[in-house]
Structure 1
């Protein structure tokens, strides 16, 4: 019984972790957090200013942030 419960817990953890990973790659707030902190920390939210700032620094952004920004355009 304990072994079965442990296996179920491991499977649940793996499924939950994979969901977080995919959410971060498609959600700019998660995928671009480090890039925002590095390049756009002084920009107040609202009116698309943060997205504009990130796009202006696009060549310096992480791959995951670029992917997340691209997914917004679809």
Structure 2
């Protein structure tokens, strides 16, 4: 394996790990808000984020911050 291929793999793995950690943080921070406002929405479709954003004025500050961090 060339050095360039190895470097590309390292970069991809690093970015996917950061995205996964960010999703995990948002999931934990918004769990109560999800249960309260969006419990009927199945994961994996983007519907949960849309639902939470639609209820933004009713969300906890922790959840709002987690949603904002996903946009960066």
TM-score in terms of structure 1 length: 0.63
Q: Determine if the alignment matches structure 1 residue 46 to structure 2 residue 44.
A: yes
Q: How many residues align?
A: 50
Larger radius of gyration: 1
Q: What value does the CA root-mean-square deviation take over the aligned residues? A: 1.6
Displacement, 1:46?
Answer: 1.5
Q: Which runs of 5+ in 1 are unaligned?
A: 1-22
Cα shift readout 1:21-63 (whole Å, capped 9, x = no counterpart): xx8xx81100000000000000111121100000000000000
